[in-house]
Amino acid sequence: MAAFDISLEQIGQARQWALRHGLDVDFFVGDVTAIPFPSSTFDAVFVFCMIHHVQDWHRGLQELARVLKPGGAFLIEEILRTWSSWPEFEDGLADAGCDILEKGAILPRLFLTYLCTKHGA
């Protein structure tokens, strides 16, 4: 299992939490627009409220989908901030090669959760 963040401080906090809970996670500082793993590495990718911080969010979604195996699960929770509409964000998921299986609102018109799968299964 691997996890990354652009912030060294956040990685340190996450590493301590994982150690306290007996989880074996490879943490590293990284950029979502240039993930240092080969294509089709992971069975699942989880992203929580960070894509709106990424200037080139299209590239970020494409990189996340790239490292996901075909048919793999992609769970993303996001806040409306960068996009003019949710359909714009959903188009970004489709452009990255993902099919939306389920969509749910945490706080309607503010947070949405998408369960997707990568094409090619």
Residue 10 is predicted with a pLDDT of: 93
Domain span holding position 66 = 32-118
pLDDT digits (tens, 9 = 90+) for 56-89: 999 999 999 999 999 999 999 988 766 667 888 8
Question: How does residue 49 score in pLDDT terms, banded at 50, 70 and 90?
Answer: confident
Asked if residue 95 and residue 72 are part of one domain, the reply reads yes
Q: Which residue in 118, 46, 60 sits closest to 89, CA to CA?
A: 60
Asked if residue 84 and residue 44 are part of one domain, the reply reads yes
Q: What is the CATH number of the domain that holds 62?
A: 3.40.50.150
Q: DSSP 3-state assignment of 40?
A: coil
Asked if residue 47 and residue 2 are part of one domain, the reply reads no
Q: Cα–Cα distance between 37 and 106 in angstroms, integer?
A: 31
Q: What is the pTM of this model?
A: 0.87
Asked if residue 113 and residue 62 are part of one domain, the reply reads yes
Residue 67 is predicted with a pLDDT of: 96
Question: How does residue 96 score in pLDDT terms, banded at 50, 70 and 90?
Answer: very high
Asked if residue 26 and residue 42 are part of one domain, the reply reads no
What token pair was written down for 21?
């809970």
